[in-house]
Amino acid sequence: MIVFLIKRLANAVLVMLAVALLAFLIFRFAGDPVELMANEQMSQADRIELREKLGLNDSFLTQFGRFVGNAAQGDFGISYRNGQDVMKLIAERFPATMELALVATVLSLLIGIPLGVITAIHRGRWYSEGLQFISIIGVSLPSFVVGILLILVFAVTLGLVPAFGRGDVVQLGWWSTGLLTPSGRASLLLPSLALALYQITLVMRLVRAEMMEVLRSDFVKFARARGVPRWRIYFRHALRNCLMPVVTMTAMNFGSLIAFALITETVFQWPGMGMLFIQAVTFLDMPVMAGYLCIVSFIFVTLNTLVDIAYAVIDPRLRDATR
Amino acid sequence: MATYEKTKGNDMKLRKHLLAGLAFAFLASSASAETLRWGSPRDIFSLDPYSYGSTSNLAFLNHVYEGLTRYTPEFKVEPALATSWEMVKDKVWRFHLRKGVKFQNGADFTADDVVASMARVSHPTSPLRGNIPAYVSTTKVDDYTVDIEVNSPNPLFLNDMTNIFMFDKDWLVDNKSELPTDVGAKVEGFATYNTNGTGPFKVESRVPDSKTVLIKNDGWWDTPKHNLDRIEFMPITSAATRVAALLSGEIDLTDGAPVQDLERLKSSPDIKVVERTDLRTVHMVFNRHETFADGRENFFNNIKVRQAIDHAIDRQLIFKRVMRGKSHVAGTMVAPEIPGYSAELDVPTAYDPELSKKLLEEAGAVGKEFTLVCMNDESVNEEDVCSALVSMLSRVGLKPTLDIGPRAVQAPKRAGGKSDAYMIGWANEPTLDAYSILVQVLSTREGAAGVANYGGWSYPALDAMVKKAALEMDHDKRLAIETEALKFAKDEVIMIPLHQQPMAWAMSNNVTDVTIRADNKPRHWLTRIGD
């Protein structure tokens, strides 16, 4: 078990180093930050001096070593764009993205599961076929189009919810939440729906497929024969047997929700990490880009490692296989 | 019939929603009649005016901080924190400071503050150092008088000083911010998050990328023309969302209405749109080194080739098709608002492809290949402008290829002199005088001159005129020299001016008075709403 743990951790460290190298490489070839920082009147000598000061003239290995060394201590430097501490910038944005992704996940389960059950038990009816058809649109529409459509309908035409921003937030320690104020909750609605749409379709289709499988099984037939009420069979007995893969998929897709949030955040001016990253890219703000990539991949790697370890704890066969 | 009833019912419901929404909007606006909700295409970078030489950042912070001088909306220099000034020696300006001005923390504004501010802004690590190229040093004469030494007696120093904002010395010292924030040193600055200016508004709160709230500074020394108690500044980067927010009444004004949505905005009865062209003149420019970066002979050094290109460009077509009739076709290198402009010069070169072909033949440049470096995120519709240029030049017998990409990638190619031909936009900020483009773009590269002369040309005759203009103290005589120099540049076809690009603001009818000038800067100390 200890050997397994060490192997797994070493793996995680390797992945992180690889991400750091990739991030570093991309930024090195993305362009010259000095040209963007310099204003029109800055002389060439000043530019060279600034480049020297930022350490952009050092050798590749020196720069990379310095980057990894600092990053390991959580120090990504300060932003080229606004002179703020990168870790602090990301920590400020983290709750916004997290809340968005969490609410989107909850929405996808709350909407996706009942829809999946309905389309499974009433398959062939016009409305379940209709839902199936709409779900294809849900998967294929790009999320910025969905976002704009939602804004046009619910914010501009109906005027029910705000078109952009996060509303008023309440500060709980370092965590800022919009869930505790009415305007915060109203603001959360559209972006989380836009973000959840893809996930809703996935959940719905997964539940439907699983449900149709389960409904054919013997215990359902037996329950029917015993005269157990239908809703009880569907929602109590059958659904339970469908949920395992849904939970696994939801957990695994949480990461991609954070990644998709990038576009949703831009459309809705949601002050999250994705927005920060997009702005950093247009400005070639390397410390912020590097910090964002490293922290997001750190979240991924940590989650994956934890899941792997949990699996190994539950299932001894996995442990043996890796030995 | 039944369906009709149903739609009618829905209609009623919709109407009810709309009414509720309107009632809500009405209540909201009457409860906060003097709040301006301002949606901008981008957030400010920092609350520290010396943190980054960005025109838009400085324009925002001008609501909080002020300089010794300021521009009137007509771009004339007028007294701000200094009441008057004169040249006491050949290269020394004496500024008499306004008495009774208080910083927002209650401290008095005195000569010590000017000395500390000038030291901070001219420090080697200050990104704004380049904005005052003439500056040498500051000495205190008495509490309300300072002497500023410069390296040439050019009155344009007063223009440059409009953008150098004054800090409170004790506030800087107490918060260990006497030096500008240095990105290389990896230490955050206090002034990045906190403000203490003398201006018409003070910062109440700021959440980056969400909202920055300014409230009225009751202790402002000047008589306010605005009637705002509060400004809520909200960046909305997505253009479509910005338009939606204006239509749904969540913002009152945006200083970045997207050109493609103007018709939609105009068709809404509650919204008015103000369009005009801005100060930035977009040019096509040539590499003028002996050879191109790859060693080929540089045919652009032949004036006939440059003239041929000038005649090959159908500016009217670009105006109509690419800029949707909203730009100003340029015949000279500065916008009409810039001193030094001359209407006589502003006659666009005639479109004459036949003449162009003839000139190319004479120069032996038919079929010559070159690359045009463009950016897709710098000037308005630059991608389409460049595509149009490439096809127009191909038609007369040249073989241009288009190299387009984001500014982050293209700017180093341009600045490094590696591109054969490139685009440049020049707004003459912050000096607002043709001297800016003459000294920084058109002059020979040498010290502070020609910093944006990426093509590497050198015209001693032009340099002489620019130097003469710098020393000329008489306003009209100086402008005459500048106009003459611009004519020289046009005759030599150093750069090919194309147009001044359009800008547009949109606002709800609630905003009754707003000052919009060609520099595209917000001046909300002149904005009135609700009356």
For B23-42, the DSSP string reads HHHHHHHHHTTTEEEEEESS
In this model, does residue B497 exceed pLDDT 70? yes
Would you call A39 and B408 a contact, using CB atoms and an 8 Å cutoff? no
Testing the interface with A: which of B48, B183, B378 to mutate, by most A Cβ within 10 A? B183
Q: Is B510 helix (H, G, I), strand (E, B) or coil?
A: coil
Of A195-199, B50-54, B225-229, the range with the lowest mean pLDDT is B50-54
Check CB contact under 8 Å for B208 and A82.
yes
Residues of B in contact with A92 (CB under 8 A): 208
Quote the percentage of chain A above a pLDDT of 70. Answer: 92
Determine whether B483 is exposed, middle or buried from the number of CB atoms within 10 Å of its CB (0-12, 13-18, 19+).
buried
Report CB contact under 8 Å: B128, A39.
yes
Q: What is the DSSP letter of B168?
A: P
Classify residue A181 by its DSSP letter.
Answer: S
- State whether residue B165 is helix, strand or coil: strand
Check CB contact of B260 with chain A, cutoff 8 Å. no
Q: Does B245 touch chain A (CB under 8 A)?
A: yes
Q: Which of residues 32-71 of B touch A (CB under 8 A)?
A: 43, 45-46, 48, 51-54
pLDDT on residue B482: 95
Q: Mean pLDDT, to the nearest integer, of B103-108?
A: 94
Could you give the CA distance from residue A30 to residue B286 in angstroms, rounded to a whole number?
A: 25
Cβ atoms within 10 Å of B2's Cβ, excluding its own? 6
pLDDT higher than 90, residue B64: yes
Per-residue model confidence (pLDDT) at position B1:
32
Cβ separation of A160 and B51 shorter than 8 Å? no
What's the rounded mean pLDDT across residues B293-297?
Answer: 88
DSSP state of A85: B
Residue B478: which residues within 8 A CB-CB, separation 6 or more? B155, B435, B469, B472
Distances from the Cα of B287 to the Cα of A159, B244, B282, angstroms: 54, 44, 16
Enumerate the domain spans of chain A.
Answer: 2-72, 89-321
Confidence of residue B19 (pLDDT cuts 50, 70, 90): very low
Q: Is the confidence metric ipTM above 0.90 for this complex?
A: no
Q: Among partner residues B46, B248, B448, which is closest to A159 by beta-carbon distance?
A: B248
Closest by Cα among B97, B164, B109, B110 to B133: B164
Over residues A156-166, the mean pLDDT reads 89
Q: Which of A54, A93, A152 sits opposite B184 (nearest CB)?
A: A54
Looking at the complex, does the CB of residue B425 fall below 8 Å from at least one CB of chain A?
Answer: no
| B363: confidence class by pLDDT, cuts 50, 70, 90 | very high
> B234 vs A266: CB contact, 8 Å cut-off?
no
Q: How far is A151 from chain B (nearest CA, A)?
A: 7
What per-residue confidence (pLDDT) applies to B251? 94
Task: Decide if A275 and B237 are in contact by the 8 Å CB cutoff.
Answer: yes
Q: What angle do CA B349, B354, B360 make, to 5 degrees?
A: 85
How high does pLDDT run on average in chain A? 83
Cis-peptide, bond into residue B235, ω within 30° of zero = no
Partner A, chain B 152-211, Cβ-Cβ below 8 Å: 181-184, 186-189, 192, 207-211
Nearest to B237 among A43, A83, A266 (CB): A266
User: What local confidence, expressed as pLDDT, does residue A41 receive?
Assistant: 58
B241–A269 CB contact, under 8 Å? yes
Test B24 with A271 for CB contact under 8 angstroms: no
Of A36-45, B292-301, B426-435, where does mean pLDDT reach its minimum?
Answer: A36-45
* pLDDT computed for residue A317 by the predictor: 67
Contact residues on chain A for B209, CB-CB shorter than 8 A:
93, 269, 271, 275-276, 279
- The answer to whether the Cβ–Cβ distance between A267 and B210 falls below 8 Å is no
Confidence of residue B34 (pLDDT cuts 50, 70, 90): confident
Q: Which residue of A has its CA nearest to B447?
A: A43
* CB contact set of B294 (below 8 Å; sequence gap of 6+): none
The CATH number of domain A89-321 is 1.10.3720.10: yes
- Chain A CB contacts of B53 below 8 Å: 38-42
Q: How far is B404 from chain A (nearest CA, A)?
A: 14
Q: Which segment of A67-71, A222-226, A275-279, B428-432 scores lowest on mean pLDDT?
A: A67-71
Q: Decide if pLDDT at A220 tops 80.
A: yes
Cβ of residue B407 closer than 8 Å to a chain A Cβ: yes
With CB atoms and an 8 Å threshold, state whether A41 touches B53: yes
Structure tokens at B387: 């595509």
pLDDT greater than 60 at residue B26: no
Chain A contact for B438 (CB, 8 A cutoff): no
Instruction: For chain B, positions 499-528, list CB contacts with chain A under 8 A.
Output: none
pTM: 0.81
Q: How far is CA B199 from CA B120, B131, B152, B219, B474, in A?
A: 19, 21, 30, 9, 32
Share of chain B above pLDDT 70, in %: 93
Q: In angstroms, what CA-CA distances link B112 with A295, B65, B89, B142, B415? A: 45, 16, 22, 9, 39
